[in-house]
A = this chain, B = another copy of it.
């Protein structure tokens, strides 16, 4: 149990590289391999393995499930790119852009099935019904979250509660599922299982709110993308939904119509909307939400019973939210 995150990541990459994938039909498996090689952070398998490591020593039995969640995550990105008509993913052409709709659709399907194939390789057979149950619940929640996210774009009024529910499904469910699989595989008690689930859910919510905040207020150089994208697209982020809930009539009109106003430059649009956010204190509210969820998550780690050092989980959380304890 004296592992570092580096050890875990390296074991995971080795396992992933040894999985072996059929060569034929090439048009089905090449996009799969491409999607997996995009250099993601491997956050979800790391969460799973770091959780497992709290309770158990030999990493091997947890590696297939870790691969399952990473494949599932990349499957969701692949199909999301089709639904969002997104041509770029991690700085490269998306599978959708590179191979077209039919291949993106079918390769995604095969990735979803492959996630279950990896889960099935878990050598602890008596846990299979429980692992499958966790995985299924997680997978369905992610789909439900994506559906709400798409629906929100076409709706004029969304409450903060609805938004938080959506990101709990779309973002937290997958982190929560990863942690739950690690906990069950490691043999955590029911109480620890519940606490770890809550930990992952809070971290997921904090991460998504952070993402929404940084899209307007982040450092362009650090993020590697232009600031204000959500504002220009009129995307229903936490920032605009919280602002709408606090705005007067005039501010509401600014929030609603600025991104559609062709007489304004991009800079003007961004600064006008941020002016409303600032006036309403939305960045501070977001900061508070992120901090309190982050703190609550870390505090939960301190109350686990029978677990080893929670340092790896704490660093994963810190790295993700970009702040320290």
Q: Which of A22, A105, A117, A133 has the most CB of B within 10 A?
A: A105
Any B CB within 8 A of the CB of A300: no
Any B CB within 8 A of the CB of A191: no
Q: In the complex the two chains form, what is the Cα distance from A132 to B150 in whole Å?
A: 32
Q: Which residues of the partner chain B approach A24 to less than 8 Å between Cβ atoms?
A: 144
| Interface membership of chain A positions 80-112, coded 1 if the CB is closer than 8 angstroms to chain B and 0 otherwise | 001100000000000000000110011011101
Q: Which residues of the partner chain B approach A106 to less than 8 Å between Cβ atoms?
A: 79, 83, 143, 146-147, 150
Q: Which residues of the partner chain B approach A22 to less than 8 Å between Cβ atoms?
A: 144
Q: How many protomers of this protein does the assembly include?
A: 2
Q: In the complex the two chains form, what is the Cα distance from A102 to B163 in whole Å?
A: 20
Q: In the complex the two chains form, what is the Cα distance from A223 to B320 in whole Å?
A: 59
Partner of A109, one of B129, B133, B143: B143
Interface size on A, residues (CB 8 A): 39
Q: Which residues of the partner chain B approach A112 to less than 8 Å between Cβ atoms?
A: 109, 112-113
A25 touches B148 (CB 8 A): yes
A110-B140, A116-B136 are known contacts. Are A147 and B27 too (CB-CB below 8 A)? yes
Q: Which residues of the partner chain B approach A114 to less than 8 Å between Cβ atoms?
A: 140
A-to-B contact residues, CB < 8 Å: 22, 24-25, 27-28, 79, 82-83, 101-102, 105-106, 108-110, 112-114, 116-117, 119-120, 125-126, 128-129, 132-133, 135-136, 139-140, 143-144, 146-148, 150-151
Partner of A147, one of B25, B101, B139, B143: B25
B109 touches A136 (CB 8 A): no
Q: In the complex the two chains form, what is the Cα distance from A249 to B51 in whole Å?
A: 67
Q: In the complex the two chains form, what is the Cα distance from A247 to B217 in whole Å?
A: 69
Q: Which of A27, A109, A117 has the most CB of B within 10 A?
A: A109
Q: Which residues of the partner chain B approach A109 to less than 8 Å between Cβ atoms?
A: 79, 108-109, 112, 143
